[in-house]
């Protein structure tokens, strides 16, 4: 599921990207740990998250050794990504001696029409003899058009 952050940025956890709403050409690819940290912020939107809970949920639960330096790098990368996409106001707030909180308007992103619609293309003819007839009709139409043109 994709999420819209402050109506400006779309977070796609499946592809690990942040992009401007309605403009996928300016997507920023996140590292796996940064994506997991952002997922934690979204799941706990508006709540205070301790360093320990972020380290556990984004590193330990995935079999990686946690470190405060890694968490600090992820937080820094996320902040830079949001600024580069136009969210000037800091949305990841450091809470001294507590941890972090994400202060943002977060909603599930509406499915794009292209995602929602699956265009089913059906063949014009399904039997070989009908396909030949269609091809012959196209050839006749083309030759008729060429004759009229000259």
**Do 132 and 103 share a domain, yes or no?**
no
pLDDT tens string 21-61: 887 778 999 999 999 999 999 999 889 999 999 999 999 99
Lowest mean pLDDT among 73-87, 107-121, 123-137: 123-137
Q: How far apart are CA 95 and CA 92, in angstroms?
A: 10
Q: How many domains does the chain have?
A: 2
140 pLDDT exceeds 50?
A: no
Task: Extract the tokens encoding 131.
Answer: 């396909």
Mean pLDDT across the chain: 80
Average pLDDT over residues 64-86: 95
- Give pLDDT, residue 26: 81
**Do 44 and 18 share a domain, yes or no?**
yes
Q: For the chain, what percent of residues have pLDDT higher than 70?
A: 74
Average pLDDT over residues 77-105: 94
CATH number of 23's domain: 1.10.10.10
The residue range of the domain holding 138 is 123-149
Q: CB-based contacts of 105: which residues, under 8 Å, 6+ apart?
A: 5, 6, 7
- Give pLDDT, residue 112: 63
In a domain, 48, yes or no: yes
**Do 92 and 34 share a domain, yes or no?**
yes
Could you report how far apart the first and last alpha carbons of the chain are, in Å? 58
100 pLDDT exceeds 80?
A: yes
**Do 84 and 28 share a domain, yes or no?**
yes
Question: Which residues share a beta bridge with 93?
Answer: 101
In a domain, 114, yes or no: no
């Amino acid at each position: 599921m994709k999420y819209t952050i402050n109506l400006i940025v779309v977070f796609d956890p499946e592809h690990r990207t942040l992009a401007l709403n309605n403009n996928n050409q300016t997507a920023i690819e996140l590292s796996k740990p940064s994506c997991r940290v952002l997922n934690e912020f979204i799941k706990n939107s508006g709540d205070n998250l301790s360093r320990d809970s972020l380290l556990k949920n984004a590193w330990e639960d995935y079999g990686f050794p946690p470190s405060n330096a890694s968490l600090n790098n992820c937080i820094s990368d996320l902040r830079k990504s949001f600024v580069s996409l136009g969210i000037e106001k800091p949305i990841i707030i450091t809470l001294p001696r507590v941890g972090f909180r994400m202060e943002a308007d977060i909603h599930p992103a509406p499915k794009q029409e292209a995602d929602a619609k699956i265009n089913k293309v059906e063949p014009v003819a399904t039997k070989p003899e009908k396909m030949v007839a269609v091809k012959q009709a196209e050839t006749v139409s083309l030759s008729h058009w060429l004759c009229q043109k000259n």
